[in-house]
Amino acid sequence: ELTVGEVRLDTRSGRVTLAGQPVKLTAQEYKLLSYLMHHKGKVVSRTELIEHIYDQDFDRDSNTIEVFVTRIRKKLGQDVISTIRGLGYSLEEPVS
């Protein structure tokens, strides 16, 4: 089980919860969130995310990663995933 703040991801069941409430994610959103949670505290490039989620022949100029990040933010909160301009995305423990 991976945890960042109130977000929990159970890698065995594939369930995601926010403050104990289940959150429905698509398969691609789940893969992206899982990858970021496994690399918590590190900046993950868009290219790295594309390589993790898709096959090698995927159009790398597509904006699907941005779309998935936007959808995940709508479901889990704006501050869950940080955009690091020019570098990629990062998932950090919230500062209390």
Q: Does this model's pTM top 0.85?
A: yes
The architecture CATH gives domain 2-91: Orthogonal Bundle (1.10)
pLDDT for the residue 51: 85
Given a cut of 70, is residue 96 above it in pLDDT?
no
pLDDT, tens digit, 9 for 90 and up, residues 13-66: 999 999 999 999 999 999 999 999 999 999 999 889 988 887 666 666 678 889
What distances in angstroms separate CA 77 from CA 7, 33, 37, 46, 72, one per listed residue?
10, 13, 15, 20, 8
Domain boundaries, the chain: 2-91
Q: How far is CA 72 from CA 4, 56, 96, in A?
A: 14, 24, 22
Give the per-residue pLDDT at 53: 84
Residue 56: predicted pLDDT = 67
Residue with tokens 């994610």: 25
Contact 46, 67 (CB under 8 A): no
